[in-house]
Amino acid sequence: MKGLIISLMLLTFLGCSSAKPSGSNISVGHVPSIPDRENNIEPQPVSGKTAADFFRDEKIYSGWNLGNTLDSHAAGEGDETTWGNPRVNQTLMNGIKAAGFDIIRIPVTWMGCYDEDREYRLDEHRLKRIAQVVEMANKAGLKAIINLHHDGAVENASKDIGWLSINKARRSKEGYHEVTFQFLRIWTQIAIYFRNYGDWLMFESFNEIHDGNWGNSMFTLMLPQFDIINEWNQLFTDIVRHTGGNNTNRYLLIPGYVTNPKLTLGQFFKMPKDSSPGRQLVTFHYYDPYQFGIEGSRANWGSDADKATLDGDFAPFKEQFVDKGIPVIIGECGAVLQLYPDNPEREELARKSRLDYFSGVFGTAKKYGLVPVYWDNGATTGKGEKFGLFNRNNGQPNSPDSEALIKAMINAVR
């Protein structure tokens, strides 16, 4: 009881100190002192279909992430090759399509690529490069997604990495206004620059926004943050629609708090109101169990219990969203490569389990009408997370094992 009372007291305090958009002068109609940059491409045709019909008719079953590339950053500035991957080329995009993937998620980190003295005016070179990459994807026959990625990254609960800080936003009205106004300005410029692109290009509001605890904070303490996530998703929707052109009906990906599947299914996640019905999608990330998917400390996966857990995690999304005409994208999923040079038996177990896991995740996603998008960060060596499956220079699988994993994913959804 004592713990509950303390929790409620803290919730009351945070609720009072957390800023809300009411009374703020933040408006999607904000006019900057210098006109936002525009792309001079001719308006491309759009289908006019709902997202559910578009995904069905275009046979969008699975996807791949261009990770650790345009989302890489150092010293507060987003870049393309900072984290060791080469510049994106058409051959890579062609290889992703040839492997059988239908959609590519292109994470983008925008921090440092704007002028704070000019209302966060985005760098023209950055916009042009993102445009070049999405056009490569389109030329290869891939649908594409762009977002705000590590702009919302945090090192821990007391130290932000990016500017899109939910901690800063929840602590004061001034902090909320500062962060939310920048969110408005960055997304307005992205939306304007890409508004003539066809509906093969989709927008995702942000990546894994959280307070530094990855959704493991005391639940009552996260309630104000759930509100802010819902508010930012609503603002994102309003911004894109307000910019007009093809953005009037563009498909928008809506994530929940830290893209956690259970929190996305929970009662505090709210879909934004949208002036264009049927054009929204829900997205979440999946690397469970953590010890196998991310940490690489567990070599085995594939028991009846493992498969039942996977089924139980995915099944609710069909009833809550897919059956209501809202497509669901698993925006990131996968399991790291585990290497045990001194233990060949354990390494072989991990290799076979990873193959079973890929087939299981993609097959179960297909069963419930979800679209899985593999997280590939290009890494195959070192002590970090090794998710790389493709050679980024030639677009081919980087090993026979990677080729088998790719085929397992594609075969599972066909």
Q: Hey, which residues are catalytic here?
A: 208, 332
Q: Which residues contact 175 (CB under 8 A, 6 or more apart)?
A: 19, 165, 168, 169
Nearest-angstrom CA–CA distance, 317 and 253: 15
Q: What tokens appear for 244 in the block?
A: 């007009």
